[in-house]
Structure 1
Amino acid sequence: MTDYNNSQKDVADFYEEEASTYDERFESIAGEYIHNRQVSIILEQLGDISGDTVLEIAAGTGRFTHVLAAQDAKVIVIDIAREMLEENRQRTPEAEFVHGTASELPFEPSSIDHCVTVNALNHIPGHWDVVADVKRVLKPGGKFLANYPNILSNRFPIGMYVNNQNRNVGKGVYTKWFNIFEVKRTLKSMGYNIEACIGDRFLPVKILPKITVPASRMTEEISGNPIMSNICVSPFVLARKE
């Protein structure tokens, strides 16, 4: 088995074990804030998706799947971890679920209206292969919305450590932090038009959340500024297939 496939298997094994407890991280003050903030970004950036086919990559337990389905969209989920798929299926049975890797999407060219992936590309070895295959399956004009842990944020030391180790801090799953400017350049070179970069958090809200969460709420409007979004912790980039 190649190193690439070994890395894929390691990620799958990690999230198989995480499936039953994954949602616990969003039950805290900070976790709830992060979830609600990300939901608001997704809904605002996708707009009206009623009747559209939306592909969600590595949706985990479905924190966003049921939100997308509630917009009267046809939601298709692909995930490498079967246990995550099962947790998600119980939450949103009306969605369609596919077990597989996002770098080899089992869909016809130009068959998907929009694609969303949150907190996932940074854990997928070969993430640019994923982005390229998303472009293949998107219809012309289709939206691709994803977020990227940003090494240019105030969490630079953590990002440097993670990229040096190719692992996140503490739990040992493959992780990559990105230079958000390189992300946008790469997306453009692959044939996407960049429509927005939306900031998600200036502050690491898990530290002293009773203080940092209210402070983050106060900075949300500023973080959405196109310039300031480039130094946020986990900016979302909205790209559209040409």
Structure 2
Amino acid sequence: TSLYQSLRASGLSNHVAWRVSFAIVPAPVLIFVAVLTLIYGTDHPAGKWSERHTIPATEMEIEQGHDDHDDRDEKLDEKEVDEKGVRGTSVAVHPVQKIASIDVAVNKRLTIQTAFKILASPVTWLPALAYLTTFGVELAIDSQMSNVLFGLYSKKIPGFNQTTAGYYTSIFGFLNLVTRPLGGYVADLLYRSFGTRGKKIWTLLCGLIMGAALIGGGFYIENHHTPTKSPSLATIMGIFSLAAIFSEF
């Protein structure tokens, strides 16, 4: 916010200062993270993309007669090919641990038929809808709460300007530093004890608490916002922080 204000003070218009602020701070951070991911990240849970067929799920599929090994993008190293044109290989048989089908993913060639099957499955849309109603809610709070606070307190609290409202709103973003790792840790604990069902119940519980907090916060503001009085700033921040915490879990 202070960067935006300094750009405005230098003579830039509202929309130009806003765009320049994004180019100065978030854009370099995103590029830096992308470079780190490119250097240290993996192409696949099994490691290299060329080794994607070594995961247990694929071995299980091959055992059942569904060989989806696609080596069109894997080239033989000429140095490893002997004079007869055959690369020396060794075969090792390892027992495959039977894992629930919901816990594994199998690489298959993408066809039009497979694509339509994926799009027609409700399981495909559940993560998107869950993301829309969790992180989407947080983005809505982050983008609009400063306007709400400014409208409520700019004339009631001396010195409460847009910058102050922005500082209060930034709290919801900083909560991610704690709530996201903590939410993942809690989900892992529940998974070890109760499996996938435990994570489902935890997700539903977080959604219900988040929704109840948002509805309660809306009613609180509506019932306490009058020409003669304003709702408590601490109460508003507490209610919507609770909603943000459980949306980030």
TM-score by length of 2: 0.21
Which structure ranks higher in relative contact order (CA pairs < 8 Å, sequence separation ≥ 6)?
A: 1
TM-score by length of 1: 0.21
Q: Identify, as 1 or 2, the structure richer in helix.
A: 2
Question: Greater CA radius of gyration, 1 or 2?
Answer: 2
